[in-house]
A and B are shown apart, each in its own frame.
Chain A
Amino acid sequence: MSDPAVQAAVTTNASLNPRVKARKDLIKRFKKNKAALISFYVILFLIVVSIIVHVFQLFGITITPHSPSAVNLPDRFQGPSAEYWFGADHMGRDIFSRILHGMILTLGIGFVSVFMGALVGVPLGIISGYYGGKVDAVIMRIIDVLLAFPGILLALAIVSILGGSLVNVTIAVAVYSVPGFARIVRGSTLATKKLEYIDAIRALGAKDGRIIFKHILPNVMSPIIVNATLYIATAVLTAAGLSFLGLGAQPPTPEWGAMLNDGRGFMRDAGHITLFPGLAILVVVLAFNIFGDGLRDALDPKMKN
């Protein structure tokens, strides 16, 4: 802390707003990790493409080579070709077009469910960690119950209660991500709460709400962000799994998991029907995982430099 060289470096750089500087440092650290950087660009590219495809579709314009639901029976089971880049499925639909159209669903479920999960899990975790005692015991036992089910089983149960649809799959995946957020946030809150500046701010007469939102939340933000990124990958996988089991997207929705299911019966003769949606899921999940790992390394102060 009192190393003169460090102090000097700090003071010379400090002319810049430190908050801006911290952000710049973070970006610099993140950029050192090439795999994570590439993953970030891949994610960005996929998001942009899926939005463009979706927006055009909303106005009735199909910008993919084919319409995702255009059935062309003579071409069924056709392998990859100039016309059907990823081949055609058992109804002669263009797999490439279907993957592009399904992307917004996959990413949407990922983002929305994790956002919903965080919206519930983060407050639960903070309240649990901050107040402790009985409140903590009650919340954490509920979380333990949720954790006791394997994720896919829990999601299955929720979807079978609510009925199979994309919205319900999103809800199921959100419920399934709540315990993760609650646990991580509770841990960080416990650590932050013990810091002396929380005592100091309490000694100034601050209300609990002010302490939680202004002084604890910013300090538990980085684990939340990292957890969210990594959870998107899990959410995508779970959602695809549910659709594969026929509980999510219903035909002819070009959801990737549902597409896998479509091709399941023809795997031996027309493997491309399952191969390409599978690869698409792989790319998205891998990208989010590597990006999340890179983000964690960049945000973790102990790993600095």
Chain B
Amino acid sequence: MGKEENILSVKDLQTSFFIDDGSEVKAVDGVTFDVPKGKTIGIVGESGSGKSITALSILKLIDNPGKIKGGQILYKGDNLVDYNERKMRKIRGNQISMIFQEPMTSLNPTYTVGEQISESYKIHQGLGKKESKRKVIEMLKLVGIPSPEKRIDQYPFELSGGMRQRVMIAMALACRPEMLIADEPTTALDVTIQAQILELIKELQDELGMSVIMITHDLGVVAETCDYVAVMYCGKVVEYADVRTLFKNPRHPYTVGLLNSLPRSDVDQEELIPIKGTVPSPDEMPTGCRFAPRCPFATEKCHNELPELEQIGLGEQIRCWIYTDEWTGDPEVKVYEP
């Protein structure tokens, strides 16, 4: 990082859901990360870690009873948190676009592919029928859909999952946004199609020079596509590093646990090592480090006090007591240090 220009900086973002009985669920609790221009950043985490809510917060698509409670979302220096709905609409789809997990349900079944993609042009550029049709065909070609002139009049149900995801991407990129948020874009697809879609996103990124936020729970996808990674756990970023460092030198015990639980082709393994325990439910969130109850190295301090996200080395950030001067546990734990 360092000298690179950030197109988006999320600083201490807090998004909560306020339940009827007066309780508050902190889905995103102080998330901080940067997206350098033209790069891909991965947000990894288990279900419920707040990664999708982070993405929706960036576009301010959080519905009642959810609310962005605090923090900043700096897009090209402007704080999107202060934007009103009208200004946000100009950003959505035009500057920052989003594609969703489920290509089956993300397209309106009552409109043709062409009609849906041209929505972007109608909304942001006010183009007429003929002009937008030409652009839609161009867009379908760009996302690698064969014979676009024919596809344009087809309905979503006539397309396969992979094709639909391509249509979704075409819709999202129609106005050439500078940033794409991909919320688990490949989760619902076959492995072979997954590879194709990831490849397509990468190609388009190079071609259009956009930045990408890739939200996933699949570390394989991260390794394949991302430049930087933010690992999230229970609404907080626990580790932020560039992708090579993260895979070579994971520091946070949670990241280490995630990597250990993956099958590897280079090591002969009898068994995978799971992370013990389960993600705590929002109403019984630990007071200290969120990961402490499952962490094999946790000390008294870990259970009682929440560590800050600290800068470690070049562009690496970590939220763990082990890497602070205050660490009182086993000094041997720092074996992960390079």
CB atoms of A203 and B92 under 8 A apart: yes
* Complex Cα gap A18–B123 (Å): 25
Chain B proximity of A43: nearest CB distance (Å): 27
* Complex Cα gap A195–B110 (Å): 13
Chain B proximity of A212: nearest CB distance (Å): 13
Residues of chain A lying within 8 A (CB to CB) of residue B101: 196
Whether a CB of chain B sits under 8 angstroms from the CB of A11 is yes
CB atoms of A1 and B104 under 8 A apart: yes
User: Would A196 and B157 be within 8 Å (CB), given that A133-B64, A205-B93 are in contact?
Assistant: no
Residue of B nearest to A207 (CB): B89
Chain B 72-110, CB-CB to A under 8 Å as 1, else 0, gives 000000000000000011111110011111101111111
Residues of chain A lying within 8 A (CB to CB) of residue B243: none
Chain A proximity of B279: nearest CB distance (Å): 24
State which residues 171-200 of A face B: CB under 8 Å. Answer: 195-197, 199-200
Chain B 124-159, CB-CB to A under 8 Å as 1, else 0, gives 100000000000000000000000000001110110
CB atoms of A200 and B168 under 8 A apart: yes
CB atoms of B158 and A11 under 8 A apart: yes
Chain A proximity of B125: nearest CB distance (Å): 11
Interface size class of A (residues with CB under 8 A): 20 to 34
* Complex Cα gap A210–B98 (Å): 19
Whether a CB of chain B sits under 8 angstroms from the CB of A286 is no
CB atoms of B64 and A204 under 8 A apart: no
Chain B proximity of A193: nearest CB distance (Å): 9
Whether a CB of chain A sits under 8 angstroms from the CB of B310 is no
User: Would A203 and B61 be within 8 Å (CB), given that A10-B157, A197-B108 are in contact?
Assistant: yes
User: Would A196 and B102 be within 8 Å (CB), given that A202-B92, A205-B89, A219-B110 are in contact?
Assistant: yes
CB atoms of A203 and B110 under 8 A apart: no
Residue of B nearest to A11 (CB): B158
CB atoms of B61 and A199 under 8 A apart: yes
CB atoms of A199 and B100 under 8 A apart: yes
Interfacial residues, chain A to chain B (CB-CB below 8 A): 1-2, 10-11, 14, 17-18, 132-133, 195-197, 199-207, 210, 215, 218-219
Top 5 nearest A-B pairs (CB, nearest first) are: A204-B93, A205-B92, A205-B93, A203-B98, A196-B105
